[in-house]
Chains A and B, each alone.
Chain A
Amino acid sequence: MSKADTSTEIYDLTPWQETWVKFRTNRIAALGLLVLLILIISAIFAPLLVTHDPHEQFTDILLAPPFWADGSQSGFFLGTDDLGRDMFSRLIYGARYSLFLGFAIVSLALFFGVAIGAIAGMKRGLLETVILRLMDIMLAIPAILLAIVIVALLGASLMNAAMAVSIVLLPHFVRITRAAVITEMNKDYVLSAKLDGSRGWKLLFQTLLPNISAPLIVQSTLSFSNAILDIAALGFLGLGAQPPTPEWGTLLSSSREFIEVAPWTVTLPGLAILITVLASNLLGDGLRDALDPRIDPL
């Protein structure tokens, strides 16, 4: 097809282009994507952006307020914490932990969830029943409680907390994948792919996955915010990242005794978590609309 006859009509677009066109029209979701991109970029280029080393203690400037309050110190425009460390630098470095962990946790849960869910959906029978009941048991236990139990078993550290959270998120991916696979397996295009010789993993990766990616992508973005929240919660409880790691949840918990004298030390990490979670939820909602063929804003 030559460039000349490529018009912008929706039925001339590839499926992914069509999704992008629909997604662009959703301003709030685009804002979510923008915020997330800014966060990702600032996490990647953290060493270039920060004004101080996040671990460096300025013992003569303890609990300095941020720039808008009286008594703020020049050079520390989001203030300092109880040990005189620069809040801005710690928050930027904290984005590294939260975002990286979010991606890692969701990737892990997505990978194993799709694998297990696809086996359940394609093989059916006894194996499916066993897998589903196991996932039901995991879903029946409150997420944070299950994560605490797993961390208690593995020992408190950031990596173990990440493992625990991805185990907690796993059942959602398993169930979504299984349901989608079962729906698609009976459709004509899957039957014809089978007749064309696609079986097993080949059928899953080449035929099924591209067609069930929509709910999985949406679940991934929503799980991403859950993962960040859970990691922060575990950090706050002292089961995740350990001080002096500048992880947002850990920042929250280590400064909570100063909430009356220096409220910014608690508010700012909380805001950082809120903004990240909100942005990824907005992105997830926007993607859900954009990927759903029944919703056509054009």
Chain B
Amino acid sequence: MTALLEVNNISKSYQVSSRLFGATTESILSDVSFELESGKILAVVGESGSGKSTLARQVVKLEQPDSGEMFLDGKPYVSIPDLHQRVRMIFQNPAASLNPRKRVYQLLEGPLKNYRNLSRSERDDLIFQSLEKVGLSNEQAQRYPHMLSGGQGQRIAMARAIISGPQVIVADEAVSALDVSVQAQILNLIMDLRDDMGMSWLFITHDISVVNVIADTVLVLYAGRMMEMGPVKQVLESPLHPYTRKLLQSVPGVDSPGNEVVAVDVKSASDDTLPEGPACAYLARCPLADKYCAECVPPMMNLDKHLVACLKAVKSP
């Protein structure tokens, strides 16, 4: 089976002006590659500052990566004129991503008006269909975003994403701003939509406990580099990278009262813990690091579809 979405070695850096004159560039993503198959859900996990949102911006073509290529259905991004209809995005907080001055109807109408030449009744049909698919009634169409609850708002954002019949939806922390009970509803809705409409999801989250429920494959990012990628079961049950293990330890669980929660280091990747020159990005925080880790960027090793970038992965303790 060929991949629906193929991302090859994309890198992105931003200019940061550090001093009065002159600017330095800061690398946010480096050499990220993955494949997303049709009808699958790929979760991207990492802490704040790990480049998850930057990755999302490249995939939906809000920005151009500095290097690397992306393919949808085997065609390069540049040759797809209707890419914005085929790859859609859902943002974290519906209160911020829905224009407060527009009614729900106008919000959903936007992509249809801009991308497709439809009559008003055809637009109405599509709008009400997509509202129905996300479990909302037609009455919501005349409301303003601030009249909706967080869960309803995120459903509207999903309705807007699916209205153009996309193949891929990028959900950037789509459930992180919601109550836990509402989170479950939205996660179920994502899986229902996947089953009904057959689209693939790139599900970005900092919450590794959500990944277990929803994803087929998981990609762990740290400081914009891939640490580990593999089928969800393998990665969560037998993580090979020390960073993945740390993320898993930091999940508070209600069902295991004896387990102490281990906090991930207070320092995050965005602090100046990144090594100079070629070395493992996780060097400064890694409990297993030795002199070899400081000498090269660990190559991606493929251990039976389970990829890991760690020199210590093979003889894990």
Which of A's residues lie within 8 Å of B, judged by CB? 1, 11-12, 14-15, 187-189, 191-198, 202, 207, 210-211
Contact, CB under 8 Å: B99 / A193? yes
Q: Does B139 contact A (CB under 8 A)?
A: yes
Q: Which residue of chain B is the closest to A202 with respect to CB atoms?
A: B114
Known pairs A192-B97, A195-B60, A195-B89; list 4 more (Cβ under 8 Å): A11-B146, A14-B144, A188-B91, A191-B91
* 7 A-B residue pairs with CB within 8 Å: A12-B147, A15-B100, A15-B144, A189-B96, A191-B89, A196-B84, A196-B115
Contact, CB under 8 Å: B62 / A195? yes
Contact, CB under 8 Å: A197 / B96? no
Within 8 A of A (CB), among B279-310: none
Contact, CB under 8 Å: B115 / A192? no
Determine how close the nearest CB of chain A comes to the CB of B41; give it in whole angstroms.
Answer: 20
How far is it, in angstroms, between the C-alpha of A245 and the C-alpha of B190 when the chains are bound?
71
Determine how close the nearest CB of chain A comes to the CB of B177; give it in whole angstroms.
Answer: 11
Contact, CB under 8 Å: B110 / A191? no
A193-B96 CB under 8 A given contacts A1-B139, A12-B147, A210-B101 = no
Q: Which residue of chain A is the closest to B113 with respect to CB atoms?
A: A197
Q: What 1/0 mask marks residues of chain B from 146 to 168 whose CB sits below 8 Å from any chain A CB?
A: 11000000000100100000000
By a CB distance below 8 angstroms, the chain A residues around B100 are 15, 189, 211
By a CB distance below 8 angstroms, the chain A residues around B45 are none
A188-B146 CB under 8 A given contacts A1-B139, A197-B114, A210-B101 = no
Q: Which residue of chain A is the closest to B138 with respect to CB atoms?
A: A1
A198-B139 CB under 8 A given contacts A189-B97, A207-B99, A210-B101 = no
Determine how close the nearest CB of chain A comes to the CB of B262; give it in whole angstroms.
Answer: 33
Q: Does B88 contact A (CB under 8 A)?
A: yes
Which of these, A187, A192, A194, contacts B160 with CB under 8 Å?
Answer: A192
Select the residue from A187, A194, A195, A207 with max chain B CB neighbours within 10 A: A195
Q: Which residue of chain A is the closest to B97 with respect to CB atoms?
A: A188
- The list of the 3 closest CB pairs from A to B, nearest first, reads A197-B114, A210-B101, A188-B97
Q: Which residue of chain B is the closest to A191 with respect to CB atoms?
A: B62
Contact, CB under 8 Å: A196 / B114? yes
A188-B101 CB under 8 A given contacts A197-B110, A197-B114 = no
Which of these, B84, B89, B99, B143, contacts A197 with CB under 8 Å?
Answer: B84
How far is it, in angstroms, between the C-alpha of A207 and the C-alpha of B114 when the chains are bound?
13
Q: Does B111 contact A (CB under 8 A)?
A: yes
Determine how close the nearest CB of chain B comes to the CB of A212; give it in whole angstroms.
Answer: 10
Q: Please count how many residues in chain B sit with their CB below 8 Å of the partner chain's CB atoms.
A: 28
By a CB distance below 8 angstroms, the chain A residues around B147 are 11-12
Which of these, A1, A14, A193, contacts B110 with CB under 8 Å?
Answer: A193
Which of B's residues lie within 8 Å of A, judged by CB? 60, 62, 84, 88-89, 91-93, 96-102, 110-111, 113-115, 139, 142-144, 146-147, 157, 160
By a CB distance below 8 angstroms, the chain B residues around A191 are 62, 89, 91, 97
How far is it, in angstroms, between the C-alpha of A66 and the C-alpha of B157 when the chains are bound?
67
How far is it, in angstroms, between the C-alpha of A207 and the C-alpha of B111 when the chains are bound?
13
By a CB distance below 8 angstroms, the chain B residues around A187 are 96
Contact, CB under 8 Å: B110 / A15? no
Contact, CB under 8 Å: B101 / A197? no
Determine how close the nearest CB of chain B comes to the CB of A24; give it in whole angstroms.
Answer: 20
Contact, CB under 8 Å: B99 / A211? yes
By a CB distance below 8 angstroms, the chain A residues around B160 are 192, 196
Q: Which residue of chain B is the closest to A1 with respect to CB atoms?
A: B142
How far is it, in angstroms, between the C-alpha of A188 and the C-alpha of B90 when the chains are bound?
10
By a CB distance below 8 angstroms, the chain A residues around B101 are 15, 210-211
How far is it, in angstroms, between the C-alpha of A94 and the C-alpha of B15 when the chains are bound?
57
How far is it, in angstroms, between the C-alpha of A95 and the C-alpha of B113 when the chains are bound?
46
Contact, CB under 8 Å: B111 / A196? yes
How far is it, in angstroms, between the C-alpha of A254 and the C-alpha of B147 when the chains are bound?
58
How far is it, in angstroms, between the C-alpha of A161 and the C-alpha of B193 when the chains are bound?
63
How far is it, in angstroms, between the C-alpha of A197 and the C-alpha of B146 when the chains are bound?
23
Which of these, B91, B114, B144, contacts A192 with CB under 8 Å?
Answer: B91
How far is it, in angstroms, between the C-alpha of A193 and the C-alpha of B89 when the chains are bound?
11
Determine how close the nearest CB of chain B comes to the CB of A174; give it in whole angstroms.
Answer: 23
Q: Which residue of chain A is the closest to B170 with respect to CB atoms?
A: A195
How far is it, in angstroms, between the C-alpha of A194 and the C-alpha of B96 when the chains are bound?
14
Determine how close the nearest CB of chain A comes to the CB of B294; give it in whole angstroms.
Answer: 37
By a CB distance below 8 angstroms, the chain A residues around B113 are 197
Select the residue from A12, A187, A191, A192 with max chain B CB neighbours within 10 A: A192
A189-B98 CB under 8 A given contacts A194-B62, A195-B62 = yes
Q: Which residue of chain A is the closest to B141 with respect to CB atoms?
A: A1
Contact, CB under 8 Å: A1 / B143? yes
By a CB distance below 8 angstroms, the chain A residues around B144 are 14-15
